[in-house]
Structure 1
Amino acid sequence: MKTKNYFFALLLLVISFNSLSQGVQQSFCRSVNIYINQFAYTRDSVLVSLGNSCVVTDVNLKIVNVTHTWDSDLRFYLHKGSTGAMLINYVGGSGDNFVNTNLDDSALIPIASGTAPFTGNFRPFQALAPFNGLGTDGYWRLTILDTTSGDFGTLNGWCVQLTYTCPTGGIQTVEIPNTYMLYQNYPNPFNPVTKIRYGLPKNGTVKLTIYDELGKEVAVLADGYREANTYEAVFDATNLPSGVYYYKLEADGFSDTKKMVIVK
């Protein structure tokens, strides 16, 4: 029986219980189309599910795209559980939009000194440092408050970028395939949460993207560096309608796509 393409190397690693894995940086993104109404809060969340009691060491927030006339009507907040920070506070005057706005505590230019559409790296109004030390897993929530009448907008995309470490110890099983693998999601059909496993034979940059039936990107479950291993991503489709969707894995020239179905 030929098993070459499906062979897995299983490594048993014994590490001291008080050790931490090397810091890893990963972006967790949402591609959405949420209307920003006047005198109202607009909210969206991304679910992080890394397991292994991983701990945050640094947080950045990226506003991929917010279209809005008169930027200074808006406040932006990030929350994880009971921890929160106001990151943007009435900036930009009558300018329009936020496009690829990276909020980073180490940036040289404060967001208040920028100009619309605020493309580039900026220091947030309040520091992101209070999120350091929190567990990675759970919902990270972006909130936009429009405080004035007369202007409207849309939240189109955003990412929370986490740098984190994971405690290791005891007997840890690492499942490394000898070729790239993308598995069928389970359960399928599903409502509203499913899991997607994928395997990487070597370290490198990986992207796992969800598309609707028309080919529009609706979510990014992984986008960053990964060590060789087998991973499981959690996809929460709470805000999506029933229908056929596709998920695509891209890594080092490899690409594979599979179909899944949301039934509500």
Structure 2
Amino acid sequence: MKLLHKFWLLLFLLNGIIINAQSCFNYDNFNVESIGPNALTVTTSTINVTDDLIIEDVRVNVSATHSWIGDMSIRLRSPLGSEIILHNELCEDFGDYGSPTYDDSATASPTDCILPYAGSLIPFQPLTFFDSENSFGDWELVIIDNADGDGGSLLSWTLTLCGEASTLNLNNFDLKENLIVVKEQKNIFNIILSNSVNYQFESCIIKVFDFAGRKIHQDIMNQRNDKNQFIYRLEAEFFSPGVYFVNIVANRTNTITPSGQSSILKLIVE
């Protein structure tokens, strides 16, 4: 009996470690897209991320060709609209682009122009800019060809996101004082979050959990009403009757309010 108890205790502890450990996921887009050749041609490729992580690390592999890579700038844009530059018009026509992985922990610099690029490279701007954002939504790789005459192709790209799963936190009610719920009609709710001086966000993530703690809905909350308050119309007609928890999490904010602050409210679906 004591041995059995020790087994379950060990299993519980191991589960706790697994649940709280950082997880990394790869997301790919293998659709070939043209780059250029006309000046200011913009090529945009999208990866939709359905996992719900609080980001702690980002890496990006880009596989492309171009006959004059100094024409290109390459940017990564998050679902929130945050954007950094990975490659910024470097190396003229010294060689083809290749397939580098942009990683803040890399030691090789793209300004060395060892082409085609391979292995890990330092991005032009740090990927840590995305830290603490939520992974959920559309990530975009944006390539701009800044001159006429030369062109190439985006062959594929892979986005690696690492972080901890965003979980329901019943102990954090930091935003509750600014949260209003208006019942529009049966099982349709308008959830309103004010954007006061002390709480200034660019967007929020809205998540709905059932009474057992299972997430059944998630979306980005970025629409505003005429009072500059965030508003989200939650249509719960197809939810089973019962008690649900709505979790609102602040995404990237200004320096006054850190990302990750949240509020939880209870809804009753008839």
TM-score when scaled to structure 2? 0.53
| 1:154 correspondence with 2:134 | no
Per-residue deviation, 1:20: 6.4
Higher helix share: 2
CA distance in structure 1 between the aligned counterparts of 2:29 and 2:97, rounded to whole angstroms: 15
Q: Counterpart in 2 of 1:165?
A: 164
Q: Counterpart in 2 of 1:47?
A: 48
CA distance in structure 1 between the aligned counterparts of 2:144 and 2:117, rounded to whole angstroms: 18
The structure 1 segments of at least 4 consecutive aligned residues displaced by more than 2 Å after TM superposition are 95-100, 167-173
* Greater CA drift, 161-170 or 98-107: 161-170
CA distance in structure 1 between the aligned counterparts of 2:19 and 2:135, rounded to whole angstroms: 14
Higher strand share: 1
Contact between 1:99 and 1:117, CA under 8 Å: does it hold in 2?
A: yes
Q: Secondary structure at the match of 2:154?
A: strand
Per-residue deviation, 1:113: 2.0
Percent identity (aligned): 23
Structure 1 unaligned blocks of 5 or more: 1-12, 14-18, 174-264
| 1:96 correspondence with 2:103 | no
User: Given the superposition, is the C-alpha separation of residues 114 and 95 from structure 1 closer, same or farther in structure 2, using an over 3 Å criterion?
Assistant: closer
Q: Which has the higher contact order (CA 8 A, sep 6+)?
A: 1
Q: Which amino acid in 2 is paired with 1:70? A: W
Q: Which amino acid in 1 is paired with 2:42? A: Y
- Residues 105-156 of structure 1, C-alpha deviations (whole Å, 9 max, x = no match): 1111222223221111110111111101110110110000111111011111
Per-residue deviation, 1:172: 5.4
Q: Counterpart in 1 of 2:66?
A: 68
CA distance in structure 2 between the aligned counterparts of 1:146 and 1:116, rounded to whole angstroms: 19
Larger radius of gyration: 2
Contact between 1:59 and 1:128, CA under 8 Å: does it hold in 2?
A: yes
CA distance in structure 1 between the aligned counterparts of 2:167 and 2:145, rounded to whole angstroms: 44
TM-score when scaled to structure 1? 0.54
User: Given the superposition, is the C-alpha separation of residues 149 and 24 from structure 1 closer, same or farther in structure 2, using an over 3 Å criterion?
Assistant: same
Q: Which amino acid in 1 is paired with 2:136? A: D
Q: Which amino acid in 2 is paired with 1:42? A: T
Q: Counterpart in 2 of 1:235?
A: none
CA distance in structure 2 between the aligned counterparts of 1:122 and 1:57, rounded to whole angstroms: 19
Q: Counterpart in 2 of 1:109?
A: 108
Q: Counterpart in 1 of 2:127?
A: 128
Structure 2 unaligned blocks of 5 or more: 1-11, 13-17, 171-211, 215-270
